[in-house]
A = this chain, B = another copy of it.
C-alpha cells in the first residue's frame, strides 16, 4: 500500500530507537482520507470472507475499525479495557499482557454483541508483540464465532508478534510490515 508507506516515511518519527510514532495520521490525529484507503484495502483483502462483524480493542483501533466497517457494511464492536457500569455483566473476556506496564489486563465484549454465527474480522493499528490479537482471539473463541482473520495497519516485523499470532493460526494481513527502524 504505497500511500500508507509514503505517509509512514514522510510523517513517522522514531523515538528511543524502538517506538514508531504515527500520531499525525493514525492514533492521535486521524487522517480520515487515509483511513478510507486503509478500509478499502482491507475490504479488497477479505472481500470473499462474508464478514459479519468487525472486532477491535479500544483505543487506537476504533477509528480504523469504524471507517473500515463502512466497506463491509457490518457492525463494529470494540472490546473494553475497563469494567464500567456501562458494560453488561455478561461478557466474553480476553487476556492481554502489557509489556509496557508489566502486567496482564482483561478486555471484554458484551455477550449481546457476538455469537457463534459470526464471522469476525479483527482490525488493529499495530502488531508488535501480538498480545492484543491473542486477547481478541480469546473473545472470538469464547463466543464460538469464526475468526476469519486480522487486518493490521502496521506490523513491526522485527518483533515477535506476527510469528506468535500466525503460530496461533490467526490469518494476519498487514498492510505495511516494517523490518527495521534504522
Q: Which residues of A does B touch, CB under 8 Å? A: 15-16, 19, 21, 23-24, 27-33, 35-36, 58-59, 62-63, 65-67, 69-70, 73-78, 80, 85-88, 100, 109-110, 112-113
Contact = CB atoms under 8 A, between A and B. Distances in A.
B76 A63 contact: yes
A113 B27 CA distance: 12
Contacts of A85: 15-16, 19, 100
Number of copies: 2
A66 B26 CA distance: 11
Contacts of A70: 32, 36, 67
A21 B27 CA distance: 27
Given A23-B86, A63-B65, 14 more contacts: A23-B110, A28-B80, A28-B113, A30-B65, A30-B66, A30-B76, A30-B77, A30-B78, A33-B73, A35-B66, A58-B58, A63-B76, A66-B66, A85-B100
Contacts of A33: 73
Interface of chain A, main secondary structure: mixed
Contacts of A28: 77-78, 80, 86-87, 109-110, 113
A122 to B, nearest CB: 15
Query: Which 10 pairs from chain A and chain B are nearest by CB?
Result: A63-B66, A30-B76, A29-B113, A32-B69, A29-B77, A62-B62, A58-B59, A62-B63, A29-B75, A59-B59
